[in-house]
């Protein structure tokens, strides 16, 4: 649960999805992909009091590509392509296992869409994303520090994943 002040701060930074095509977006890769994988697997998701949907997967330095990974990335590509996003830069934490494999998978799949895509492996994606504008994440620590953000996981889940198992704790967000 976040404080009322943090809810208001996050709401003030949330960009309208119709502005997503105006410039490059900067994506917290593991955050977005894992949330979509959990949604596609019918795992439990939480809509927090700030309105963002989050998974309960808990990365903890290990990640494995699963049977839902390709489809999760395809949904990202489809959504970004439909919205006319010109370019997307994904940031992945390099210390996390399989980050290199996920990078290749993202580039391979998004190559099929009309989106200039870059995937950058970094030691800690959070410290980069928290200083940027037009960030895609639901990570509360990044949301509190970034300039602005898009709640892309919520948009994609609501548009394409009707069977998602979401516990709503938003209470009048």
Three-state secondary structure of 42-56 = CCEEEECCCCCEEEC
The pLDDT of residue 44:
95
Q: Which two tokens stand for residue 153?
A: 């996981």
66 phi, psi to nearest 5 deg = -120, 180
Pairing of strands 44-47, 25-28: unpaired
Pairing of strands 165-168, 44-47: parallel
The pLDDT of residue 173:
45
C-alpha closest to that of 33 among 111, 94, 99, 121:
99
CA dihedral 138, 140, 142, 146 (to 10 degrees): 90
Q: Which CATH number fits domain 13-40+67-160: 1.10.490, 2.40.50, 3.40.50, 3.30.110?
A: 3.40.50
Pairing of strands 87-93, 149-150: unpaired
Q: What is the largest CA-CA distance in the chain?
A: 42
DSSP, collapsed to helix, strand or coil, labels residue 35 as helix
The pLDDT of residue 20:
97
The CA-atom distances, in angstroms, between 115 and each of 82, 128, 168 are 10, 22, 32
Ranges of residues in the chain with a pLDDT under 50 are 173
Residue 93 forms beta bridges with which residues? 122
d(CA 145, CA 161): 29
> For the chain, which residues make up each domain, given as ranges?
13-40+67-160
d(CA 80, CA 110): 10
User: Any idea what DSSP says for residue 14?
Assistant: B
């Amino acid at each position: 649960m976040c404080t009322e002040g943090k809810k208001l701060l996050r709401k003030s930074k949330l960009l309208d999805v119709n502005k997503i095509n105006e410039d490059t977006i900067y994506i917290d890769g593991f955050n977005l992909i894992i949330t979509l994988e959990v949604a596609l697997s019918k795992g439990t998701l939480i809509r927090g009091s700030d309105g963002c949907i989050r998974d309960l997967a808990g990365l903890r330095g290990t990640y494995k590509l699963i049977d839902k990974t390709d489809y999760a990335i395809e949904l990202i590509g489809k959504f970004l392509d439909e919205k006319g996003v010109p370019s997307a830069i994904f940031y992945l934490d390099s210390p996390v296992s399989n980050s290199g494999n996920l990078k290749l998978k993202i580039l391979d799949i998004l190559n099929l869409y009309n989106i200039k895509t870059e995937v950058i492996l970094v030691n800690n994606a959070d410290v980069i994303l928290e200083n940027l504008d037009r960030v895609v994440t639901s990570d509360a620590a990044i949301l509190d520090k970034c300039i602005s953000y898009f709640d892309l996981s919520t948009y994609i889940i609501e548009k394409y994943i009707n069977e998602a198992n979401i516990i709503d704790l938003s209470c009048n967000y």
